[in-house]
Amino acid sequence: DAKTTQPNSMESNEEEPVHLPCNHSTISGTDYIHWYRQLPSQGPEYVIHGLTSNVNNRMASLAIAEDRKSSTLILHRATLRDAAVYYCILNRDDKIIFGKGTRLHILP
Amino acid sequence: NAGVTQTPKFQVLKTGQSMTLQCAQDMNHNSMYWYRQDPGMGLRLIYYSASEGTTDKGEVPNGYNVSRLNKREFSLRLESAAPSQTSVYFCASLRDSYEQYFGPGTRLTVT
């Protein structure tokens, strides 16, 4: 199974950008990189995904290293509502395995 | 469009009892999933189904069985519940291989 490594927790100040790192050194050529987040007492929700190129959507940006062995989720301006657990996942043939994720704390 | 629905929302079982968790999606997605989440932990994949009529084991399949009844429905059965199966169970479906939609979860307690 495709594995990812993330820091257990991170802190950021409100209204500042947040960079959440993820290592996936065993990624294969067809694995998509997905990010999800889980707010307290809710199921996970999709944030963004990518294969090789950097991606932007209304929630976040995804920066993918040239060798694809790491990626960074960027929240451009964190709010208190962004406090959640963020999961970096490799989708290999639609078998989607979550790791432990990074718990993001936002300081007012 | 209800998305992914799960029943029941809460359940208490005694050790050794059996039950089936139901999941349905109305988005015409091919792939469906069952995860469990223990307190303070990440999600662990129990079983998944890439298409109607197929099921595959995930990380923690022991003690569970699944049925992909049709494209809409994917059920999870506990034949003989154990306290170690106390958890929150999430069902999900997958759109276009990149976006999973999750149900609200079933909170199961086994005493």
- Whether residue B79 is predicted with pLDDT greater than 80 in this model: the reply is yes
Note the pLDDT of residue A93: 84
Helix, coil or strand: residue B5: strand
Of B31, B59, B98, the CB nearest to A97: B59
Cβ–Cβ gap A95/B48 under 8 Å: yes
CA dist A45 and B104 (Å) reads 11
Helix, coil or strand: residue B62: coil
Give the pLDDT band (50/70/90) at residue B88: very high
- Whether residue A3 is predicted with pLDDT greater than 90 in this model: the reply is no
Cβ–Cβ gap A99/B42 under 8 Å: yes
* Each residue's pLDDT tens digit, B12-43: 999 999 999 999 999 999 999 999 999 888 99
* Each residue's pLDDT tens digit, A86-107: 999 998 888 898 988 999 999 9
* Each residue's pLDDT tens digit, A26-74: 999 889 999 999 998 899 999 999 999 999 999 899 999 999 999 999 9
Give the pLDDT band (50/70/90) at residue B69: confident
CA dist B102 and B34 (Å) reads 10
Query: Which residue type occupies B14?
Result: K
Cβ–Cβ gap B45/A49 under 8 Å: no
- Please state the rounded mean pLDDT for residues A79-91: 95
Q: What is the mean pLDDT of chain B?
A: 95
Cβ–Cβ gap B42/A1 under 8 Å: no
Ranges assigned E (strand) in chain A: 9-13, 18-23, 32-38, 45-50, 55-56, 61-64, 70-75, 84-92, 95-96, 102-107
CA dist A88 and A31 (Å) reads 12
Question: Which chain A residues are within 8 Å of B35, Cβ to Cβ?
Answer: 98
The Cα of B14 is separated from the nearest Cα of chain A by a number of Å equal to 25
- Please state the rounded mean pLDDT for residues B91-108: 92
Task: Name the one residue in this structure whose structure tokens are 């089936």.
Answer: B20
Note the pLDDT of residue B97: 77
- Whether residue B64 is predicted with pLDDT greater than 80 in this model: the reply is yes
Note the pLDDT of residue A4: 93
> What's the token pair of residue B102?
């999750």
Residue in B38, B95, B100, B102 to test binding to A, most A beta-carbons within 10 Å: B100
Q: What share of chain A is helix, strand, coil (3-state, %, to 5)?
A: 5, 50, 45
B19: β partners: B78
Helix, coil or strand: residue B81: coil
Helix-then-strand count for chain B, H and E: 0, 11
CA dist B97 and B9 (Å) reads 27
Task: Name the one residue in this structure whose structure tokens are 């947040």.
Answer: A18
Question: Which chain B residues are within 8 Å of A97, Cβ to Cβ?
Answer: 45, 58-59
- Whether residue A2 is predicted with pLDDT greater than 80 in this model: the reply is no
Say how many CB pairs under 8 Å bridge A and B.
55
Cβ–Cβ gap B102/A43 under 8 Å: yes
Note the pLDDT of residue A104: 98
